[in-house]
Amino acid sequence: MTALSKDEILHWLREDNPARLAELFRQADAVRRAHVGDAVHLRGLVEVSNHCVRQCMYCGLRAANRTLTRYRMSDEEIRNCARMAVLLGYGTVVLQAGEDAALTSEWVAETIHWIKQNTALAVTLSLGERTPEELRQWRNAGADRYLLRFETSDASLFDAIHPRRTSSDPRRTETLPLLKKFGYEAGGGVMVGIPGQSYESLANDVLAFRNLDLDMIGIGPYIAHPATPLGNGTLRPEIAENEQAPASKEMVYKMVALARIACPDANIPATTALATLNRTDGRRQGLRVGANVVMPNLTPREYRSHYQIYPGKACVEETAEECNRCLNGQIHSIGRVAGSGAGGRGIFPLQAVNSLHQSALVQLHGGQHER
């Protein structure tokens, strides 16, 4: 099966003809339908803690942000969120936090164990860069998936926006294969439109998704928090204007579509950040161009406004029940259905997948230069 080349990916990233892009999106949606079906899986998000030891140049959770009200959820609050996930029919709960040293290896393992013993939920962890010993312990406790977004495959750009604690720290792209070795479904992903991020860099990101054989791929727009060096203008990486990729919803849609074609059976969410850029139709459009996952928020409302990775986050004031009704309504409005069960990678029965995918690629390859 012929895959899209880097040059072809670059062409699509620079494409601005609406008719041509509509064809890209249609083909990505066809690949999505063939490989993962029409089910949209709902992963219940629990933002466990907004404490973080990191100093990422764009993120509002960075340790140096003294304007943020910090919190950690209690054991019972987390358990109540898991119970709500079951009540709402979700198949997965996602435990997300900053890199918080107070979330010890033992505490996380006990939390996973309780969820697995008391519910049928799959458990996804998104707790940042942790040691191999911790990752192995959490997998042994029953965690199913680990999400570690690498934000950009450009090592120098990553180091500029995400200072490493020590020079010996493994890069995130080096940790993702380790997660798969431990038996996790491994998720990565990128921000689109980082200052200093070129179109070529984004093309390399799509190739990285494929080369890493990611089970989950998260793609969202770059949105800097104002209380950060990138958000307040003190850090501005230099790049030629015509090479800078925009942090636009249109560019995110292109990346989602290309990720779907590059990684046909991966789980790809229509992200909350995309809904923040386009509140009326952001998630729906993400689902139309290749996504098959959404992440309704289960975090208690008194904490949500304090989980400020970026400003103006969508769905901060909704209850868990309201968020569920809204997302189910959006899913059904585009002719899709809410998924059931854990919704892991590769469980969809593939019928005529190769011919459908090959047809999509032939049309994209054959017509890429038409205007």
Residue environment code for 292-329, b if the CB has 16+ CB neighbours within 10 A, otherwise e: bbbbbbbbbeebbebbbbbeebbbbebebeebbeebbe
Q: How far apart are CA 250 and CA 285, in angstroms?
A: 10
Instruction: Provide the 10 A C-beta neighbour count for residue 99.
Output: 18
pLDDT at 363: 52
Map tokens 């919803």 to a residue.
249
pLDDT at 237: 73
Q: How far is the CA of 348 from the CAs of 120, 131, 143, 202, 242, in angstroms?
A: 20, 33, 22, 29, 41
Burial class of residue 69 (count of CB atoms within 10 Å of its CB; 0-12, 13-18, 19+): exposed
Q: Express each pLDDT in 314-327 by its tens digit.
A: 888 899 999 999 99
pLDDT at 314: 85
User: What is the model's pTM?
Assistant: 0.92
Map tokens 């958000």 to a residue.
231
Helix (H, G, I), strand (E, B), or coil: what is residue 16?
coil
Q: Do 261 and 217 touch, CB atoms closer than 8 A?
A: no
Look at residues 42, 35, 43, 16 and name the one whose alpha carbon lies nearest to residue 262: 35
pLDDT at 357: 44
pLDDT at 292: 98
Q: Do 249 and 274 touch, CB atoms closer than 8 A?
A: yes
- Regions in the chain scoring below 70 on pLDDT: 1-2, 346-371
Residue ranges and CATH numbers for the domains of the chain are 6-343 (3.20.20.70)
pLDDT at 1: 38
DSSP 167: T
pLDDT at 348: 52
pLDDT at 369: 39
Look at residues 165, 124, 148 and name the one whose alpha carbon lies nearest to residue 298: 124
pLDDT at 371: 30
pLDDT at 364: 60
pLDDT at 355: 43
pLDDT at 328: 95
pLDDT at 262: 97
Instruction: Provide the 10 A C-beta neighbour count for residue 105.
Output: 16
DSSP 3: P
